[in-house]
Each structure stands twice: as structure tokens, then as C-alpha cells.
Amino acid sequence: MNSNYSLRQRARFAGLLYFLSTLAGGFGLSYVRSKVIVAGDAAATAANIMSSEFLFRAAVVSNLLSQVLLFFFALALYQLFKEVNRVLARVLLASAMLTVGIAVVNALNNFGALLVLSGADYLKAFTPEQLSAMAMIFIRLNNSVGQGLIEIFWTPLYISFGLLVLKSRFLPKILGVLLIIMGVGFAINVYTKFLIPQFYPLMLTRLAMSLGALGGIPTILWLLIMGAREQQPEQKVNHV
């Protein structure tokens, strides 16, 4: 009974971390994309940053907080699934750690935009139009190529997560299927984003985000509310 209770509580704790990470990251990403970036207009984008600098900084910090929570979420999942399949659990953990590392470095682009718009004396060599253009470059790097580099490792993360769910006996198998579909969707989005960028804004990103919601939201809710089923796997699988 104690071990079953522990398993359920660990799953719920992982779900809480997953929920908070998604919430923090969603705020940071959606604020910058909906309230800051004005497509094709560097001056308007720069004006949006400076008129609501605190909220922009809050969005950046929210993204960083999301990565910290993702770090601990991955550790919680590893503890939950390591007896199901150690290889897949390690793939999941390594993918999450690489995602966190790239995301933290990618945040430098947003701080770079703040730097060039700071009005420091050494920036007076540039015209306001040039500074706005440089800020736009940093913002676009963060939200296009930088985000794509992060999503590269979302694919092995969610596919390994889905396979672990399928192999385990304490989460519904349908969640595993949805997580695998989610990982495949991100793979298609990322490689198309780099190879055929003209398709990126209109179609494939929306598809990837829809598949992400399809797999992520039910998994978050199940872990957070239901935890794990009370039965343990009957035997340890693939103890490598």
C-alpha cells in the first residue's frame, strides 16, 4: 500500500511540475508573440518592448522559470519510469536536459534586444532605426531559429515519454499514443521550419501546437488529478 501510494504521489508531483512549467512557458511565449512582435515592423516592435519593459522582462523570466520546472519535471519522470525501461528513461532525461540548456541560452537573445534598446552611451553610434532593427533580429532569433533548436529535443523527449507510458501499467496507453503523435508533430515542424521556412508561420507550427495540446493537456490533467494507477508493473522490463 505504501509503495502504491508513493507511486501515485510521485506521478501527481510530476504532473504539478508539468502543469506549472507549461503555464509559465505559455505565458512567456504567448506574450512576446502576441503583444511584442509586429511582423515586418522593427520600430513598432521596439516601441512595444520599451512601453511595457517590465512585462517583457516578466515574460523572459517566466520562460526561464519554465525551464527550471522542466528540469525537475524530467527528474521526477525519470524516477517514475526508470524501472519500466532504463534506456528510454535516460533518453527522456537527456532530451529534457538539452532542451533546458538550449532554452536558457536562447533567452540571451531577448536580453540582447533589451540591451540594444537600453539607451546606453556607447549605442549612440547607431541611429534609432538601426537599434530597432538589431532588437528585431534578437527577438526573431529567439522566437524562430532559437525556438526551433529547442524543439529538436522535444521530439525524443515526447516519443520516449509516450513509449514509457505504453510499456508501463500505471498510466492509460492512449496517453502514450498521443505523446508519440505529439513528438512526431514537433519533428515535422522543426525540420520544415529549417528546410522550407516559408511554410513555417502558416501551417505546420499550428499543426504542431495542436498536436502538442492533444498530447500534453490530457497527460498533464491525468498526472495532476489521477496520478498513477495503484498497480505496479508486474515485472521490470529491459533493465539495461
- As a whole number of Å, the end-to-end CA separation of the chain is 28
pLDDT at 36 over 60: yes
**Torsion, Cα of 157, 160, 165, 169 (10° steps):** -140
Asked whether residue 237 is domain-assigned, the answer is no
Asked whether residue 163 is domain-assigned, the answer is yes
138-161 residue pLDDT tens: 999 998 889 889 989 999 999 999
- The DSSP output letter for 11 is H
Asked whether residue 235 is domain-assigned, the answer is no
Farthest-apart Cα atoms in the chain, separation: 70
pLDDT at 2: 47
Asked whether residue 240 is domain-assigned, the answer is no
What φ, ψ does residue 229 adopt, rounded to 5°? -60, 155
Q: What is the mean pLDDT of residues 109-131?
A: 94
How many domains is the chain built from?
1
Stated pTM of the model: 0.84
Length of the chain: 240
Q: Which residues of 34-63 are buried (b: 16+ CB within 10 A; e: fewer)?
A: eebbeeeebeebbebbeeeeeebeebbebb
Asked whether residue 234 is domain-assigned, the answer is no
pLDDT at 234: 44
pLDDT at 201 over 80: no
Confidence band (pLDDT; 50, 70, 90) for 237?
A: very low
Its domain, for residue 179, covers 2-226
Confidence band (pLDDT; 50, 70, 90) for 224?
A: confident
Q: What is the mean pLDDT of residues 208-222?
A: 74
Asked whether residue 233 is domain-assigned, the answer is no
Task: Give the Å distances, CA to CA, from 195 to 103, 154, 182, 191.
Answer: 21, 18, 20, 6
What is the overall mean pLDDT for the chain?
A: 86
pLDDT at 62 over 80: yes
- The DSSP output letter for 232 is P
Asked whether residue 231 is domain-assigned, the answer is no
Percent of the chain at pLDDT above 90?
57
